[in-house]
Structure 1
Amino acid sequence: MGKRMKSKGILPGFGLTIGYTLVYLSLLVLIPLSILFLQTASMTWEQFWLTVTDQRVLASFQVSFLTAFFAACMNAVFGVLVAWVLVRYHFPGKRFIDGIVDLPFALPTAVAGIALASIYSENGWIGQLFAAWGMKIAYTPVGIFVALTFIGLPFVVRTVQPVLQDWDRQVEEAAATLGASRLQTFLRVILPHLLPAILTGFALAFARALGEYGSVVFISGNMPFQTEIVPLLIMTKLEQFDYTGATAIASVMLVASFFMLLVINFFQWKTNKLDAAR
């Protein structure tokens, strides 16, 4: 036959599917974000600068970014540990623990916030233990850190776990036969392979923590200059009908988050490139 038979796929052709994709992404992502910047553009540069450099706004930026960063770092460490245990070991209740990891995904953030505030308050089960030593967790930046760690853990575990499951154990055996210790095998053989997944999980946990509102608002105390996060400040601006001020702060948050994701993705690309070169 002179004409080639074209294989038919389940989905429509490229033109139609890419059209649906662009329309879908435009309606859900591009247009809302564009409106945010257009609303901010109605301000003069001086008004915008005075809004985003206000002392209260800068303090909320500091609280949000620092607590989100440290929570993501904590999850990057212990998320790898949890994924390692779930993949490498078999023990009673493993499936139950594996299901608990996804609980922050399904649990309403307000419920998580109330539960954490109850447990870590000075009268709570855990909070009273720290209170006996003069340490306060709830209604402090430490409480925000705890809440952000809680909601960010699944992102690291679920990105590292599939990579560990697909890992060839014979590589570890080869390293052991060459005289490498367990620590050397992990640091020089396994960790470089896991690093792209760890960076991805870190980025997802960090981005999720920056925008978290429901679980934090109950345990933070919401005190300006101390425990006030950026999403709460944006809500306060909206309640005061200061829409341009709210969009100005939100646009700075969006640009900063996007920049951080670009940096992390760049390092992830470099890591993948180095790993492929090996």
Structure 2
Amino acid sequence: MKGSKSRSILPGFGLSLGFTIFYLSVIVLIPLAGVFVKTAGLTWEQFWDTVTNARVLASYRISLLTALAAALINLVFGLLIAWVLVRYRFPGKKLIDSLVDLPFALPTAVAGIALTAIYAPNGWMGSLLTPLGIKVAFTPIGITIALIFIGLPFVVRTVQPVLQDLDKDVEEAAVMLGAYRWRTFRRIIMPELIPPLLTGFALAFARGIGEYGSVVFISGNMPLKTEIAPLLIMTKLEQHDYSGATAIALVMLVASFVMLLIINYLQWRSNRRVAAV
């Protein structure tokens, strides 16, 4: 006799949840727990001296500020690029759409070498900017440009599907009722785009904080000036100072986690506001 509920041929909730927890534990939670365990070998004084060293604090500042600046720039231009790709038809559109994903496919070391060659004082762009007193390579500006390059696809690919799914009839109705284009964009389109924009910003920012390959070449790696936190972690690992490396990594991990929590909270608030309208 058949039961009241038909069984699915796919695995049930229990098995799926168990596999999910196991997979996340092996791939994410256990490695992160290793950072805490290794850092626990330091006393509080040793930990504090390590993470508040002048060189370490400078690397935090450079990593966080350049990642934040790059994510904010990508927020604006990522939205612009996504808008153009969705709302307009023009020759070469598919090519440009494919180029957006290039930073995903290109090895970060190759991107770093290419950017350094272009923006070095004797490079194609550097030779034009240097006479104007603008130095890009081996400065925080160069680091920011590298992070813009690797972070742009996160914003574009997060916003693009939402733009494609927006109902254009609502926009046309607003225009027919006398709303100006800017007001239509601000009151109708923008509220729908805030959640994906926050998601894209968070992804680009998180990627920028931990980026190493594309930055290590163009930064110049000058302590207290252009040395990023991931490079300092690698330096301590090469010196076999594993506890010091994990201490710096722990601070970066906590900072990234707090930032993601804040952005997720803002995204939740934005979703609630849109749903209430």
* TM class, shorter-length: over 0.9
Quick check: 1:247 aligned with 2:246? yes
CA–CA separation in structure 2 for the residues paired with 1:2 and 1:261: 48
1:51 is matched with which residue? Answer: 50
Segment of structure 1 superposing worse, 181-190 or 48-57? 181-190
CA–CA separation in structure 2 for the residues paired with 1:106 and 1:3: 50
CA–CA separation in structure 2 for the residues paired with 1:21 and 1:199: 26
CA–CA separation in structure 2 for the residues paired with 1:5 and 1:136: 69
Identity of aligned residues (%): 67
Q: Which amino acid aligns with 2:46?
A: Q
1:260 is matched with which residue? Answer: 259
Q: Which amino acid aligns with 1:274?
A: R
Segment of structure 1 superposing worse, 70-79 or 168-177? 168-177
Deviation at 1:130, TM superposition (A): 0.7
1:80 is matched with which residue? Answer: 79
2:8 is matched with which residue? Answer: 8
2:39 is matched with which residue? Answer: 40
CA–CA separation in structure 1 for the residues paired with 2:44 and 2:31: 22
Q: Which amino acid aligns with 1:135?
A: I
CA–CA separation in structure 1 for the residues paired with 2:131 and 2:178: 49
1:271 is matched with which residue? Answer: 270
Unaligned runs of 5+ in 2: none
1:257 aligned counterpart, secondary structure: helix
1:224 is matched with which residue? Answer: 223
Alignment of 1:57-76 (within 5 A): 57-76=56-75
Deviation at 1:2, TM superposition (A): 6.2
2:129 is matched with which residue? Answer: 130
Q: TM-score, normalised by structure 2?
A: 0.98
Q: Which amino acid aligns with 2:8?
A: K
CA–CA separation in structure 1 for the residues paired with 2:244 and 2:163: 46
Deviation at 1:21, TM superposition (A): 1.1
Give 4+ residue runs of structure 1 displaced > 3 Å after superposition.
none
Deviation at 1:5, TM superposition (A): 4.7
Deviation at 1:7, TM superposition (A): 3.4
Deviation at 1:146, TM superposition (A): 0.1
Deviation at 1:213, TM superposition (A): 0.1
1:70 aligned counterpart, secondary structure: helix
CA RMSD, aligned part only?
A: 1.0
CA–CA separation in structure 2 for the residues paired with 1:261 and 1:276: 22
Segment of structure 1 superposing worse, 139-148 or 176-185? 176-185
CA–CA separation in structure 1 for the residues paired with 2:13 and 2:166: 34
Q: TM-score, normalised by structure 1?
A: 0.98
1:214 is matched with which residue? Answer: 213
Q: Which amino acid aligns with 1:216?
A: V
Deviation at 1:3, TM superposition (A): 2.6
Quick check: 1:115 aligned with 2:114? yes
Deviation at 1:206, TM superposition (A): 0.2
2:165 is matched with which residue? Answer: 166
Residues 31-55 of structure 1, C-alpha deviations (whole Å, 9 max, x = no match): 1100110110111111100100000
CA–CA separation in structure 1 for the residues paired with 2:2 and 2:44: 65
2:156 is matched with which residue? Answer: 157
Segment of structure 1 superposing worse, 177-186 or 215-224? 177-186
Residues 95-117 of structure 1, C-alpha deviations (whole Å, 9 max, x = no match): 11000000000100000000000
Q: Which amino acid aligns with 1:139?
A: F
Q: Which amino acid aligns with 1:55?
A: A
Segment of structure 1 superposing worse, 129-138 or 57-66? 129-138
CA–CA separation in structure 2 for the residues paired with 1:53 and 1:2: 67
CA–CA separation in structure 1 for the residues paired with 2:111 and 2:49: 35
Deviation at 1:138, TM superposition (A): 0.5
